[in-house]
Amino acid sequence: MDRKDKLRRIIATDCGSTTTKAILIEFIDGEYRQTVRGEAPTTVEKPLNDVTNGVINAVTELQELARLKYFDNSITFVKDKVLNITDGDEGIDAYVSTSSAGGGLQMMVTGVVAKMTGESAERAALGAGAIVMDLIASNDKRANHEKIERIRNLRPDMILMAGGVDGGTTKHVAEMAELVGAANPKPRLGSSYKLPVIYAGNNVARDIITETLESKTDLIITDNLRPTLERENLGPARDKIHDLFMEHVMAQAPGYNKLMTWTKGPINGEMKNIPIMPTPAAVGNIMQTIAKRHNIEVLGVDIGGATTDVFSVFTKDYIFNRTVSANLGLSYSISNVLATAGLDNILRWVPFHINESDLRNMIKNKMIRPTTIPQQLEELVLEQAIAKEALKYAFIQHKEFAVGLKGQQKQREISEAFSQSTSGNTIVNMMTLDLLVGSGGVLSHAPRRNQGAMMMIDAFLPEGVTRLAIDSIFMMPQLGVLAEISEKAAAEVFEKDCLIYLGSCIAPVGKIKPDKIALSAEIKLPNGETFKEDIMFGELRLIPLGVGETASAILKPGKGLDIGAGKNQEMETKLHGGVVGLILDTRGRKPFILPTEANIRVPLLKKWMKVLDAYPENILK
Amino acid sequence: MAQAYSPGLTVTDSIILKKDRILPLRGTVKVKKGAKVKAENVVAETLLPGKVVPFNLAHKLGVPPELVMQYVKVKAGQNIKKGDLLAETKGIFGMFKAAAKSPIDGEIENISAHTGQMLLREPRIPVQVKAFIDGLVVDVIEEEGVIIENKSAYIQGIFGLGGETIGEIKIIAKSPEEIITPEQVDSSCEGKLIVSGAMISLAIINKAKEMGVKGIITGGIDDHDIKKLLGYNIGVAITGHEKIGLTILVTEGFGKIKMANKTYDLLKQFDGKRASMHGKTQIRAGVMRPEIIIPIEFDESELKVEEAKMATLEIGTTVRIIRQPNFGKLATITALPEELTQVESETWVRIMDAQLDETGKKVTLPRANVEVIED
């Protein structure tokens, strides 16, 4: 192999909005392994205001740890404040990176009828990862001059305009364009460029829209996102939003342009620049790879400081969907989780009393100092309670958006289109889901893996039999971009070092009375023992079953319940273990209800947390 | 590893500051390079486009939108006075004419044959940018604004509310841990930037507004009070635009937290001195923290902005603890062990050993939970 083709040491970083994470991947004994990791706060703050400082700090940590590991002080990953990509043995052969340090995407959307094209536009924007600052519609009851004032004052990153079905009346979309034109809005990040406006409305109004907005805005025209009343076609608008997000928002992150010149690696024997990949796109890459390699349905979540991304691959056609909940995260956006979920919903997961004011202040302090870590156990429990709600709401948003085939149009009944009560059927089916993967600091860095399992089960409520895994050190983004230069390296590291299987969750679905048997399980464990129990409703059981181990099981759901084979149907299956084991969960699905009264709920939470060994005994007394 | 990097807030008795003062739209710069300006001086101004008033011409004339253009008597861009004739139909044999007159003074923005709507624009609104800090104009960006430099005592807060304001510093709290009462905020506080101690309540904010206080500087604030003050929950931390009648700057965080001695002492040192302050906070890309800027005498030759550097954690460094337990307390680093260590929450983290300045108690802390108080 030519020297230039060799990839012996690769550094991959992920510049998150809070932390920059670096991993070292090395070719050892004929295979690629992830060996060392380092991290440092992302440096978009003044006075540094340059994302590359955080990269250098994280890589410097890698360098120091690698020197310690190999007792070799000649190892030099950083030279003259730049990554040391060199032919020599002391440096690295390639550097790749993902980034999400640009912060959120703030959009304004317009439509004609708020509940129809307005809602579709909002769905497209939200699905593309935006915070929708306002929906302005012809029928939203505000006077036109108020709408103009509002548009002018918002300063969004971009505007998505929808309205009208193809071939329909143009008057209302034309009027909306006039209002936008009159407001002459400026982009949030600097006035050096025109505000991008995406028009995805009535196709016969395109000329009018162009005439009205072309000179004032950076106008992009795409397919109507609601070509007919009963059909929604969000793909083209979402793609355009995504393109513009890369061009306009992420590129504004300080130092980003410099970082782009650093990422290099050999492709076909030549050193080439490797584009920085947006973090969610890289995670999506890896998720699809897993689904296709193992022929399974996968749901993945990446909960970060500012945003929570949910990815899914469902149906036999491996339909991939991704949503970004731009306002749900555990540091910058933690306060928004409180605003979205409400205090009661967070407190329902907390097994002790806490003063409301203290909790509010704790959340705000985390918001203003986003890189701090819970040192006290109580704060950890609270952060994990907040995480459950953030995950829950991100998943709700995902289910609403993951509808139908990507790139194909979704058929909706005309009656449904008028009632607008639902947004079509989701393709997310928790019963058929095979694997649930969690990543992001709060899941990956949870002190106990059992906490990761608990958060994922409580937030996603998996049904039937579902395997659970955690991205051990939040490596999926880096592996997603690594695949761009070496699929082999990415796949090998993924299989060996990235996913940590937690085990499986077994949960019967359906309504049942509390004093009835919800699940009769007979599980033959590899050590020769058999677990056999008729488990009542409202219980949790944890059965140890190690990584790589399987157990054959006969699962019989309680009367009226379904464990995956149909209502009341017994199922014989093979269960996969993991670092946590098998979790039998009869607390109910569809519905899952936590008692509202604290005197009933708290003892239940404590009981479940004890069974799961989620926290030290002293906090569950 | 003998050192690590940590973000921190700047609190210093002397810094060379550089401030961009830029118009929202292109306009006129009012000062020249080299000019000495006071904080209140206008350095640039422009005219913002006036409010747009939509006027449904088709409806007013009783004709379909596509016919409107033939009756219009004005052109886009034309200035108009209230009562000016905008459009008139021919009527029948010159009778039954329908006319539309301008409801405002201003100009014609746009006339649409698609919607039959005319957009009128009210007169332009003058906008002025003030210097905000006393200092020297070191650069002029034509038609956009200026860059001002000065030497100041400078305090960066962690969180703030409200926009730019200028006033005299007035110490109310006798110590950084004191919690002042509304009674202490009296008429002598009018126009001042008052310094409270560890916490302010909503009652104090309301009293301060009533007394015409321009700004409040506090160690801590209760989130619940902010919700009551604003009428909404702050979701994402982008603040500084609130119209609450004064500016609030929080130096430590949420809850009752003693103001750092260094911050309090610095403010006390400049008691009675004029300062500029704002509450603008943004905790994401393009981070902004609220600031108090107290200009001090300087010679032009001193105006050299030092290159930004990141604070480092070293043995002997004084840090502020920014998470429970001991939130808000100062400590001195005694050791920086390299290996990961498990803390109470069972999390494995890189830690530091430190000694609390106040009590001498030895503590172990995650490195992520401190900030260096920079000079």
Take residue B259 and report the two structure tokens written for it.
Answer: 């103001």
* Cα distances (Å, whole numbers) of residue A445 to A303, A473, A603, B371: 12, 7, 27, 22
In terms of CA atoms, which chain B residue is nearest residue A447?
B347
CA-based nearest distance B222→chain A, Å: 7
Which stretches within chain B are classed as H helix?
Answer: 57-61, 202-210, 223-230, 261-269
Q: Which residues of A touch B322 (CB under 8 A)?
A: 365, 369, 372
Q: Identify from A364, A366, A379, A442 which residue to disrupt to test chain B contact, counting B C-beta atoms within 10 A and taking the largest count.
A: A364
In the numeric block, which tokens belong to residue B313?
A: 């954690």
> Chain B partners of A335 at a C-beta cutoff of 8 Å?
233-237
pLDDT at position A409 is 42
Identity of the residue numbered A155: R
A595 SS3 class: coil
> What residue in A sits closest to B120 (Cα-Cα)?
A182
Residue A581 β-bridge partners: A503
H or E segment and range at residue B343: none
Residue of B nearest to A182 (CA): B52
What does the pLDDT look like over B202-256, one tens digit per residue? 999 999 999 999 999 999 999 999 999 999 888 777 788 889 999 999 999 999 9
pLDDT at res. B51: 78
Length of chain A: 621
Please tell me whether the peptide bond between A280 and the residue prior to it is cis, using omega within 30 degrees of 0. no
Nearest to A45 among B53, B287, B349 (CB): B287
pLDDT one-digit tens code per residue, B171-185: 999 999 999 999 999
Say yes or no: domain B52-121 is CATH 1.10.8. no
Distance between CA atoms of B108 and A476, rounded to whole angstroms?
56
- Please tell me which residue, A390 or B5, carries the higher pLDDT value: A390
d(CA B274, CA A319): 63
Phi, psi of A95 (to 5 degrees): -135, 130
Residues of chain A in contact with residue B234, where contact means CB-CB under 8 angstroms, are 335, 364
* CB contact (8 A) between residue A47 and residue B159: no
Choose the closest CB to B285 out of A253, A369, A445.
Answer: A253
Please name the residue of chain B whose CA is at the shortest distance from the CA of residue A192. Answer: B25
Suggest the residue from A68, A365, A393, A620 to mutate for an interface test with chain B (most B CBs closer than 10 A): A365
Q: What residue type is A77 in one-letter code?
A: F
The single-letter DSSP state of residue A17 is S
Mind listing the pLDDT tens digit for each residue in A33-80?
999 989 888 876 666 778 899 999 999 999 999 999 999 999 999 999
3-state helix, strand, coil in chain B (%, to 5): 15, 40, 45
Beta-bridged to residue A270, according to DSSP, are A267
Among B114, B117, B345, the residue with its CB nearest the CB of A380 is: B345
Strand partners of residue A134: A108
Cβ contacts of A566 within 8 Å, gap of 6 or more: none
Q: Pick from A104, A357, A379: which is nearest to B324 by CB?
A: A379
Answer whether the bond into residue B290 is a cis peptide, omega within 30°.
Answer: no
Of all residues in chain A, the percent with pLDDT exceeding 70 is 92
Which residues in chain A have their CB less than 8 angstroms from residue B53's CB?
145
Taking the CA of residue A339 and the nearest CA in chain B, the distance in Å comes to 6
Report whether pLDDT(B335) > 90.
yes
And the tokens for A561?
């319940």
Q: Answer yes or no: do A53 and B284 touch at CB < 8 A.
A: no
| Euclidean distance between CA atoms B143 and A215, whole angstroms | 22
Between helices A171-183 and A144-154, what is the axis angle to 10°? 50
Per CB-CB distance under 8 Å, the chain B contacts of A358 are 255
| CB atoms B283 and A327 under 8 Å | no
What are the residues whose beta carbons fall under 8 Å from the beta carbon of B73, sequence distance 6 or more?
A: B85, B86, B87, B88
Nearest CA in chain A to B370: A372
pLDDT tens-digit readout, A241-287: 877 876 676 666 678 878 888 999 988 888 888 877 777 777 777 77
- Chain B hits for A212, CB-CB cut-off 8 Å, are 112
- Inter-chain CB proximity A376 and B115 less than 8 Å: no
**Residue A541: enclosing H or E segment and its boundaries?**
strand A540-543
Whether residue A320 is predicted with pLDDT greater than 90 in this model: the reply is no
Which among B75, B224, B210 has a CA at the least distance from the CA of A364?
B224
Q: Shortest CB distance from A375 goes to which of B115, B234, B325?
A: B325
Among B51, B241, B283, B346, most A C-beta atoms within 10 A, so best to mutate, is: B283
pLDDT digits (tens, 9 = 90+) for A485-525: 888 888 889 878 888 999 999 999 998 888 899 999 999 99
Per-residue pLDDT of B117-167, as tens digits, reads: 888 888 888 889 999 999 999 999 998 899 999 999 999 999 999 999 999
The nearest CA of chain A is from the CA of B214 a distance in Å of 24
Average pLDDT, whole number, for chain A?
86
- Domains of chain A in start order, with CATH, are 3-102+254-275 (3.30.420.40), 105-251 (3.40.50.280), 282-408+417-620 (no CATH)
What is the average per-residue pLDDT within A136-146?
A: 85
Residue of chain A nearest B160, judged by CA positions: A368
Question: Looking at chain B, which residue has its C-alpha nearest residue A371?
Answer: B368
For residue B114, list chain A residues with Cβ-Cβ distance below 8 A: 170-171, 174-175, 208
Residue numbers in A near B331 (CB within 8 A): none
Q: Which residues of B touch A178 (CB under 8 A)?
A: 54, 110, 112, 115, 117, 119
CB distance A372–B323 less than 8 Å? yes
Angstrom distance (rounded) from CA B161 to CA A392: 31
**For residues A99 and A106, what is the distance between their CA atoms, to the nearest angstrom?**
18
For residue A192, the model assigns a pLDDT of 65
Give the pLDDT of residue A141.
Answer: 82
Which of A17, A357, A375 faces B323 most closely, judged by CB atoms? A375
Q: Would you state the pLDDT for residue A408?
A: 38
Of A483, A514, A518, A515, the residue nearest A498 (C-alpha): A483
Contact B223 A49 (CB under 8 A): no
Per-residue pLDDT band for A191 (boundaries 50, 70, 90) equals: low
Fold observed for domain B158-289 = Glucose Oxidase; domain 1 (3.50.30)
Nearest-by-Cβ selection for B114 from A171, A254, A374? A171
Write down the domain spans for chain B.
Answer: 52-121, 158-289, 312-372
- Partner residue facing A376 (CB), from B112, B284, B345: B345
| Residues in A touching B108 (Cβ below 8 Å) | none
Fold that domain B312-372 belongs to in CATH = SH3 type barrels. (2.30.30)
Residue A569 in this model has a pLDDT that exceeds 80? yes
For B128-194, the DSSP string reads EEE--S-EEEEEEETTTEEEEEEEEEEEE-SEEES--EEEEEEE--SSTT----GGGS-GGGTTEEE
Place of tokens 């609030």: B248
CB pairs under 8 A between A and B: 200
Nearest CA in chain A to B235: A336
The alpha carbon of A533 is separated from its chain's Cα centroid by a whole number of angstroms, namely 37
**Quick one: angle between helices A171-183 and A206-213, nearest 10?**
10
CA distance A305 to chain B (A): 10
Residues in chain A within 8 Å Cβ distance of B344: 375-377
Nearest Cβ partner for A357 among B224, B322, B323: B224
Lowest mean pLDDT among A111-120, A155-164, A588-597, B362-371: A111-120
Instruction: Using the predicted structure, report yes or no on whether residue B64 has a pLDDT greater than 60.
Output: yes
Smallest Cβ–Cβ distance between A48 and the set B288, B308, B327 belongs to B308
ipTM attached to this prediction: 0.83
Q: Which residues of A541-562 are buried (b: 16+ CB within 10 A; e: fewer)?
A: bbbebeeebebebebbbbeebb
**Alpha-carbon span A577 to A446, nearest angstrom:** 19
Q: In what order do the strands lie in the sheet with B79-80?
A: B52-56, B117-121, B106-111, B79-80
